[in-house]
């Protein structure tokens, strides 16, 4: 998930995302971008997580840029 947020509030946005179950910050740009890796049990749960991130204070946008499923070997 690519997140664009207010650069001066990036620490707070990052903390809010890390508080969500299954989210990790993979990359950070001080201009306000975060790359988030999210692990969710279903596609619906991933969509809910994406919406939750998009609605966080100081988040301008959140976009799903890659989605993969693990069929369980």
pLDDT digits (tens, 9 = 90+) for 27-67: 999 999 999 999 999 989 999 999 999 999 999 999 999 87
Q: Supply 30's token pair.
A: 């001080």
* Dihedral-angle region of residue 3 (phi above 0 means left; psi in -120 to 50 means alpha; beta otherwise): beta
Checking DSSP bridges between strand 33-38 and strand 2-5, what pairing results, if any?
Answer: antiparallel
**What's the pLDDT score for residue 72?**
61
- 48 and 21 Cβ atoms separated by less than 8 Å: no
**What's the pLDDT score for residue 71?**
65
Inform me whether the pLDDT recorded for 68 exceeds 90. Answer: no
**What's the pLDDT score for residue 66?**
83
């Amino acid at each position: 998930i690519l997140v664009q947020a207010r650069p001066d509030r990036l620490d707070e946005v990052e903390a809010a995302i890390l508080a969500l179950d299954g989210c990790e910050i993979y990359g950070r740009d001080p201009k306000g971008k975060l790359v988030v890796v999210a692990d969710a049990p279903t596609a619906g749960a991933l969509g809910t997580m994406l919406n939750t991130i998009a609605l966080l204070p100081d988040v301008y946008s959140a976009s799903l840029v890659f989605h993969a499923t693990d069929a369980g070997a």
